[in-house]
């Protein structure tokens, strides 16, 4: 007599197998915390994982409490695989599913850290990070897009970030110069108006 598989059991088995299959959507979240566990940057790519800000911050707090004094580089929290690295007063985290390849997540983490190290000129600490947040977000976006890993080579990331920065017609310096020119022009207009009023009164 041939054993028959129950449709419901077959469906469950299929779903379990599917959940173990590799996916392009490797990264669930990336976040950077300071040494007090406060969020400096976070990006969640799975909207169903922690849909609200409160849930995200609770998760980050839980992760920080279980990792900030540990010597490991990998943690398993709330069914998630987490790889992390600390530098002075910063903690970097990359989050994947329980079935995710830890080496893949670690490659993303190392790429993120090395890229930021170059962007921040080796000053990977809180103040320098906050002063360069635009560049930090560009780095993250060049490495991961919607949870899909785009790049794991720091040199390629830096080249792409520099290219995107060059495409921007207004750098910080040019913006500052633009504002200075506008203020000078406004000042000249005001001075000219005052002189015209003065001469009209004298007449």
Tell me the whole-structure pTM to 2 decimals.
Answer: 0.71
Confidence of residue 113 (pLDDT cuts 50, 70, 90): very high
Q: What is the 3-state secondary structure (H, E, C) of 17-69?
A: HHHHCCCCECCCEEEEEECCCCEEEEEECCCCCCCCHHHHHHHHHHHHHHHCC
- For residue 171, the SS3 value is coil
Phi, psi at 86, each rounded to 5°: -120, 150
In this predicted model, what pLDDT tens digit does every residue of 25-47 receive, in sequence order? 689 999 999 999 999 999 999 98
Task: Return the pLDDT at 21.
Answer: 46
pLDDT digits (tens, 9 = 90+) for 121-168: 888 999 999 999 999 999 999 999 999 999 999 999 999 988 776 665
Query: Which residue, 133, 141, 147, is CA-closest to 163?
Result: 141
| pLDDT higher than threshold 50 for residue 6 | no
> What 3-state DSSP class applies to 197?
helix
């Amino acid at each position: 007599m041939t054993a028959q598989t129950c449709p419901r059991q077959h469906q469950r088995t299929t779903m379990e197998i599917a959940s173990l299959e590799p996916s392009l959507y490797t990264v669930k979240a990336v976040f950077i915390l300071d040494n007090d566990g406060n969020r400096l940057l976070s990006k969640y790519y799975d909207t169903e994982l922690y849909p609200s800000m409160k849930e995200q911050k609770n998760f980050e707090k839980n992760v920080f409490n279980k990792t900030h004094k540990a010597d490991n580089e990998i943690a398993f929290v709330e069914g998630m695989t987490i790889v992390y690295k600390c530098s002075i007063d910063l903690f970097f985290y990359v989050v994947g599913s329980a079935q995710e390849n830890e080496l893949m997540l670690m490659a993303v983490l190392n790429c993120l850290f090395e890229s930021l190290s170059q962007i921040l000129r080796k000053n990977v600490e809180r103040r320098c990070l906050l002063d360069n947040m635009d560049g930090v977000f560009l780095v993250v976006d060049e490495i991961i897009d919607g949870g899909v890993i785009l790049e794991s080579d720091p040199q390629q990331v830096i080249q792409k970030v520099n290219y995107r920065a060059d495409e921007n017609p207004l750098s910080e310096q040019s913006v500052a110069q633009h504002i200075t020119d506008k203020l000078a022009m406004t000042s000249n207009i005001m001075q000219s108006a005052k002189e015209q009023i003065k001469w009209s009164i004298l007449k």
